[in-house]
Structure 1
Amino acid sequence: MFYTFFLLTALGSSLVLGFSYTTIYMKENCDRTASLGSSGYIEWERNDRYYDHRADCSVILKTGISSERIALQFIDIDIEENGQSYCYDYLYLYEGAVSSFDRTAHTKAICNSQRIVDYTSSTSAVTLRLVTDSSTRGSFKILYTTYMDAVGSGCYGGRYLCSNYRCIHSELKCDRMDNCGDASDEPDDCRTGYPLSRCANEDYVDSSRLCNGAADCSDGSDEWTNSWALCPAQEMRGSCASLVTLQPGTSGYIVYSRHVPYSRGTDCTVQYNTQSGYVIRLESWDVSGMDYNCHGSLFLCNGITGSCDSWENDFSLCHTSPDDTSYVTSGEELTVRLASDWSTSGNFKIFYKIEQGGTSGSSTVVTVVVVILVVILVIAVSVYCCGKKSRSEQSNTVEDEAVQWPGETPRDNIHLHPTTIVHTDRPRSLGTPTIERVPPQPSPRQYSYPSAPPQSSDSIVPPSVRVEPPTPSTSTGEPPTPPPSYDQALWMPTEPPSSARQS
C-alpha cells in the first residue's frame, strides 16, 4: 500500500487518479431524494453488499439541472428469481419522482431473469424501489452519469461532446469509465501512460492486467465491458447471420450487447474467422445472466456452419456452465449461435484470444491427402521390395540345391527346376521321372551332339540300339569313342556305376 501511495504521489497526475466516484447507498436514503453529481455508483449498503430480508426501500434520484438526463448502467445484478420469468425479489424502476407506488405503474421490474444493461431517463429524475422476501439475499451495483443533449453540433459550459451527442462533464473524459454510453469519452490515446489503473472500488492494479480474461480487481471491474475498463467487445447484436474477422494477437469479449440484454426468442448466429495459421481460444465466460433453467443456450461449432445447434455443436454453454474451462478451434474459423426460448432474456460475456497454432482448412485437407499418398507409396514400395527379395531368395535356393552324381564334376550336375519336363513318349514301365537330367555342355575339346533323327510319332519304343558308354582315351593316342546321341543318352540304363554299387 505504501509503495502504491508513493508511486501515485510521484506521478502527480490527475489522469492516473481519475475522477473520484462517490456511491449513493439506498439503505441510508430510504424514502428520500438523493442529489446526483457528474457520475457515481448506487448500491444497497455501505458495509454489506447484500440487501436485507423483507426490505421495501425507495430512493428518488434527481439531477441538479432540470435539462439534464440520467444514464444508468447496471454493472452487477444478483436479485433472486424463481428460474423462469417470475421474480422473488424486485428492483423496480420508475420514470420521474414517484412516492406512491403501484406495481403495475413501474417502468422496469429487474431481477436475474429480467435483466437490464442500461437505461436512459426522459426527465431529470428516476425512482428506484427494492422489494425483497425472507428467503434469499442479493446485491446490485449501478453506475449513473448525468448529461445534457447537445445543442446543434456542440456543448456549452465546458462539457465534453460524445459521439452520440451527449454532453457529459469534462472531468469524466479519460477516467476509464464509459460515461458517454458509446465509449467515445475513452479513446485509445487515453490508455497510454498509466502504470497503475484504478478499479471501480478505488483499488489499483497494474495497467497491463486490464482486460486479460482474469479478474484482478476485487470487484472484477478490470474485466467490465459496459463501463470502466472498457474491455474490447464483439457484439453479436447487429452482426447476426454475418461474418466477423478477428485480427491475430487481439483479445476481448464476445457479448450479445454492451448496452441491452437479448430479448426472448432470440436466435442469432455469428461466424468468426481470423488469419490462417491462428486459432480462436474461448475461456473465462460469464453466463450467469442467462436463463436459470438453461432454456437459453450458446452453441459453439468448430469452423463455419449455418446449422450450429444442440445436435451439431462441439461445445455448449448455459447458466450452469463453469467458467474455468476453455474451448479452442482447430483452425481459424468459429461459429457461435445464441438460441433463447420465449421465457426470459439475458446476457453473457466470453473472453476470446487469437493465438498462433492452427492451420487453414484447405491446408489441413491438403496435408491429410499428402500424408495418405505418402503412406500408400511407402506400403507399395515395401510390398514390392519384399516380394522381389523373396523371389530372389527362392531362386538362389533352387540353384544351390544341385544334385551331383558320382564321377561327375560340379558343373556336370543335375539341377532342380521349379518346373520339370516330363516326356510322355517314354514307356510307363520305366517310370516317369520328376527330375530332368540335364547333360553337361561340351567344352571346345569335346564332340558336339548331332541333331536327333526324326522319330515316328506312333512309336513308343526307340530303335534297338545297343548303347555303350563312352570309353576313355588310352595311352596309345587313339581318339575316344564319341558320346551317344541325345535320344540314346535318354534311354541309357539308369543303374549307378559299379563303384557306387560296391559302396
Structure 2
Amino acid sequence: MFYTFLVLAALGSNTVLGFSYTTIYMKENCGSTASLGSAGYIEWDRDGRSYDHRADCSVILKTGSTSERIALQFIDIDIEENGQHSCYDYLYLYEGAVTSFDGTTPNKEICNSQLIVAYTSSTSVITLRLVTDSSTRGSFKILYTTYMNAVHGTGCYSSWFLCSNYRCIHSELKCDRMDNCGDASDELESAGCRTGDSLDRCANGVSVHGGRVHMCNGVAECSDGSDEWTNSWALCPTQEMHGSCGSLVTLQPGTSGYIMYSRYVPYSRGTDCTVQYNTQSGYVIRLLSWDVSGMDYHCYGTLFLCDGITGSCDSWESDFSVCSTSTDDTSYVTSGEELTIRLASDWSKSGNFEIFYKIEQGGTSGSSTVVTVVVMIVAVILVIGCLVYCCGKKSRSSSGDDDIVEGETVQWPGETPRDNIHLHPTTVVHTDRPRSVGTPTIERVPPQPSPRQYSYPSAPPQPENSPVPPSVRVEPPTPSTSTGEPPTPPPSYDQALWMPTEPPASARQS
C-alpha cells in the first residue's frame, strides 16, 4: 500500500483536510494499468487542458486487492453530444481489464446527453476508454473510492470504517468532506465529524482570498466549485426529490442547502415527480443559483414551480419553469411557507439539477413586501371612505331642523296620514319647551273639526213652469237651530241636480 501511494503521489495530488487525493491522468497512462489507492481523481491532462482531437485512449484501473471494489462519482462531465440523445465524443466504461475493443460491448457510454452521476463496479478492475472526433474538445473529472463489502456479522477490519450502506472504506477517508461511502455516512456528526465549518482550501488545494472558504452558501468561491458540491468534499445539505415523489417535505427555518433529483443517480426517462415543501408559518422559501446544466436544453425535461401546495403543477398552473442547460442566478421566493416542485421528463433523455434554497422570514421577501404595501393602500382607502361618509352624514344632519327625530312619521295637526305622504319620514315636534336629555317627548295635537261647507252643482236649465218630479224635488237642508243636534247631512248628487239655483223666497226676504 505504501508503494502504491508513492506512485500516485508522483501522478499528482490534492490535499483535503490532511488526506492526499491523488489524480490519475489518462493522457499519461494510455494503454497501461494504473493502481488505485484509497481514493483519488481521474482526469485527462495534468495541466487541466481539454482532451485532444481524434483521441483513442484506454486505461485499466486496478485495486490493491481482489476483494475490493471501485466506486466512481462523476463530478464534472463536459463531453460533446450530437444533440440527438447520443454522443460525438465518448467515454466508455468496461468491467474488467479490456484491451481489444472489436465487438466488445461497454457497460456505459458517457457524454453530456448520456450523463451518469455514480457507478460501482462488480469486480476489482475496470477499464476507461476515451474516443473523440475532430470538432469539439471537452473535459471530465471523476472521483474514485476503493471499498469492500462488509461481512455479515463481522463488519469491517479494524483499519476500515463501516458505512451505513455496509461498505467498508479506509478510516483515513472519514471526516474529510468527501462522500466516500456513497451515502455520506462517513461525513456525519454520528461518525465524529464536525459539519458546516469553513475550510482553508478548496478541493484543488487553492486557497480563496487568502482565507476561509464558506461552504454551502449558494456561492461558488472555489474555482472548481468544490465548496458547493453536493456529492463530495463540501457535502452540502441536500433535499433529494428521488424517493420523495408525491410526499410533503418540511424545511426548518434558518436552514439552507440544495434541492436536486438525486446525489448519485440521474432521473430516468419518463420521470414525473412532484414534491411539496413547507416550513414554519411566517417564513418563506427562496430559491437561487439554478444549475440545470445536467438537463437537456431542448426542454425535454422541465422543472415547474408553483407557489403553495398543489397536486397539478404544470405549464398552466406553474409560476416559474426552467429547462435551460446553463446556470441561472434567477431568484424565486414564495408568498408563504409552501412550495411545490414538479420534474417532468419525456422518454428521450435523463439528467439532473441543483437548486440552492434558503428559509427566510417572510418580511425579507420582495413579494411579501408588495402584499404588505397593497394591504396598506386598501386600508387607507377604507379609512378615507369612512371619513367622507361620516362628514357628509354630519353635514346633512346639521343643515336640517334640530328637532327632527329619525324613525318617526311626520303628521301635522289637522292632517290625515294620507295628506303627508310626500314628507320625509321624520317627525317634527312643534313645541316651545326646551329639549330634555333622554328620549324626546312628542306632543301631538288632536285634529280640530273644520266647518262644513257645501257647494252644489248647477242644475240643467229647465223651461219655465216645467213640472219637477216630486220624487226628486228636494228642499235645501235647513241647519238645525238646536245646540245638541247633529247637522243635516248633505243631499245626494241626484238630489242636488234638481235643486233650484235660487234660494227660497223666505231666505231672500230674510
Normalised to the residue count of structure 2, the TM-score between the two structures is 0.71
1:454 equivalent in structure 2: 451
- Kindly tell me: are residues 27 and 369 of structure 1, through their superposed partners in 2, closer, same or farther at Cα, counting changes over 3 Å? closer
1:458 Cα shift?
A: 3.2
- Contact 1:296–1:341 under 8 Å retained in 2: yes
1:393 Cα shift?
A: 3.3
1:26 equivalent in structure 2: 26
1:312 equivalent in structure 2: 317
The 5 A counterparts of 1:55-204 are 55-102=55-102, 105-152=105-152, 153-188=154-189, 189-191=192-194, 196-204=199-207
1:382 Cα shift?
A: 3.2
How far, CA to CA, are the matches of 2:140 and 2:52 in structure 1? 12
The 5 A counterparts of 1:146-295 are 146-152=146-152, 153-188=154-189, 189-191=192-194, 196-205=199-208, 209-295=214-300
- Contact 1:16–1:194 under 8 Å retained in 2: no
- Over the aligned positions, Cα root-mean-square deviation in angstroms equals 3.4
1:414 equivalent in structure 2: none
How far, CA to CA, are the matches of 2:151 and 2:32 in structure 1? 33
1:73 Cα shift?
A: 0.4
- Kindly tell me: are residues 455 and 270 of structure 1, through their superposed partners in 2, closer, same or farther at Cα, counting changes over 3 Å? same
1:415 equivalent in structure 2: none
- Kindly tell me: are residues 308 and 104 of structure 1, through their superposed partners in 2, closer, same or farther at Cα, counting changes over 3 Å? farther
How far, CA to CA, are the matches of 1:193 and 1:323 in structure 2? 25
How far, CA to CA, are the matches of 2:266 and 2:79 in structure 1? 16
1:208 Cα shift?
A: 6.1
- Kindly tell me: are residues 308 and 293 of structure 1, through their superposed partners in 2, closer, same or farther at Cα, counting changes over 3 Å? same
Unmatched runs of 5 consecutive residues or more in structure 2? 1-14, 365-369, 403-411, 416-430, 433-447, 458-510
- Kindly tell me: are residues 452 and 94 of structure 1, through their superposed partners in 2, closer, same or farther at Cα, counting changes over 3 Å? closer
1:16 Cα shift?
A: 7.5
2:392 equivalent in structure 1: 386
1:312 Cα shift?
A: 1.1
- Contact 2:202–2:213 under 8 Å retained in 1: no
- Kindly tell me: are residues 192 and 110 of structure 1, through their superposed partners in 2, closer, same or farther at Cα, counting changes over 3 Å? closer
Q: Which amino acid aligns with 1:198?
A: R
- Contact 1:81–1:113 under 8 Å retained in 2: yes
1:386 Cα shift?
A: 0.6
- Kindly tell me: are residues 81 and 354 of structure 1, through their superposed partners in 2, closer, same or farther at Cα, counting changes over 3 Å? same
Q: Matched residue of 1:20: which SS? A: strand
Q: Matched residue of 1:261: which SS? A: coil
1:467 equivalent in structure 2: none
- Kindly tell me: are residues 160 and 283 of structure 1, through their superposed partners in 2, closer, same or farther at Cα, counting changes over 3 Å? same
Q: Matched residue of 1:185: which SS? A: helix
Q: Which amino acid aligns with 2:216?
A: C
2:499 equivalent in structure 1: none
- Kindly tell me: are residues 34 and 384 of structure 1, through their superposed partners in 2, closer, same or farther at Cα, counting changes over 3 Å? same
Q: Which amino acid aligns with 1:202?
A: G
1:112 Cα shift?
A: 0.6
How far, CA to CA, are the matches of 2:359 and 2:348 in structure 1? 34
How far, CA to CA, are the matches of 1:370 and 1:286 in structure 2? 38
Give me the identity figure in percent.
74
1:69 Cα shift?
A: 0.4
1:292 Cα shift?
A: 2.5
Q: Matched residue of 1:386: which SS? A: helix
Q: Which amino acid aligns with 2:123?
A: T
- Kindly tell me: are residues 338 and 16 of structure 1, through their superposed partners in 2, closer, same or farther at Cα, counting changes over 3 Å? closer
Q: Which amino acid aligns with 1:334?
A: L
1:174 Cα shift?
A: 1.0
- Contact 1:83–1:292 under 8 Å retained in 2: no
Q: Does 1:343 align with 2:348?
A: yes
- Contact 1:276–1:358 under 8 Å retained in 2: no
Unmatched runs of 5 consecutive residues or more in structure 1? 1-14, 397-419, 424-440, 443-450, 461-503
Q: Matched residue of 2:268: which SS? A: coil
Q: Which amino acid aligns with 1:35?
A: S
1:45 Cα shift?
A: 0.2
How far, CA to CA, are the matches of 2:99 and 2:317 in structure 1? 53
How far, CA to CA, are the matches of 1:67 and 1:44 in structure 2? 28
Q: Matched residue of 1:209: which SS? A: coil
- Contact 1:177–1:186 under 8 Å retained in 2: yes
Q: Matched residue of 1:385: which SS? A: helix
- Contact 2:304–2:314 under 8 Å retained in 1: yes
1:84 Cα shift?
A: 3.1
How far, CA to CA, are the matches of 1:264 and 1:179 in structure 2? 28
How far, CA to CA, are the matches of 1:207 and 1:112 in structure 2? 33
- Contact 1:179–1:227 under 8 Å retained in 2: yes
Q: Matched residue of 1:270: which SS? A: strand
- Contact 2:294–2:325 under 8 Å retained in 1: no
How far, CA to CA, are the matches of 1:272 and 1:238 in structure 2? 14
- Kindly tell me: are residues 102 and 338 of structure 1, through their superposed partners in 2, closer, same or farther at Cα, counting changes over 3 Å? farther
How far, CA to CA, are the matches of 1:384 and 1:41 in structure 2? 79
Q: 1:299 aligns with which of 300, 304, 315?
A: 304
How far, CA to CA, are the matches of 1:122 and 1:290 in structure 2? 29
- Kindly tell me: are residues 71 and 452 of structure 1, through their superposed partners in 2, closer, same or farther at Cα, counting changes over 3 Å? closer
How far, CA to CA, are the matches of 1:297 and 1:20 in structure 2? 39
Count, aligned residues = 395
- Kindly tell me: are residues 395 and 52 of structure 1, through their superposed partners in 2, closer, same or farther at Cα, counting changes over 3 Å? farther
Q: Matched residue of 2:328: which SS? A: coil
How far, CA to CA, are the matches of 1:195 and 1:282 in structure 2? 23
How far, CA to CA, are the matches of 2:38 and 2:205 in structure 1? 17
Q: Which amino acid aligns with 2:214?
A: R
1:41 Cα shift?
A: 0.2
1:457 Cα shift?
A: 4.7
Q: Matched residue of 1:382: which SS? A: helix
How far, CA to CA, are the matches of 2:357 and 2:180 in structure 1? 25
Q: Matched residue of 2:342: which SS? A: strand
How far, CA to CA, are the matches of 1:193 and 1:285 in structure 2? 22
How far, CA to CA, are the matches of 2:16 and 2:31 in structure 1? 37
How far, CA to CA, are the matches of 1:300 and 1:95 in structure 2? 40
How far, CA to CA, are the matches of 1:25 and 1:106 in structure 2? 21
How far, CA to CA, are the matches of 1:306 and 1:358 in structure 2? 27
1:499 equivalent in structure 2: none
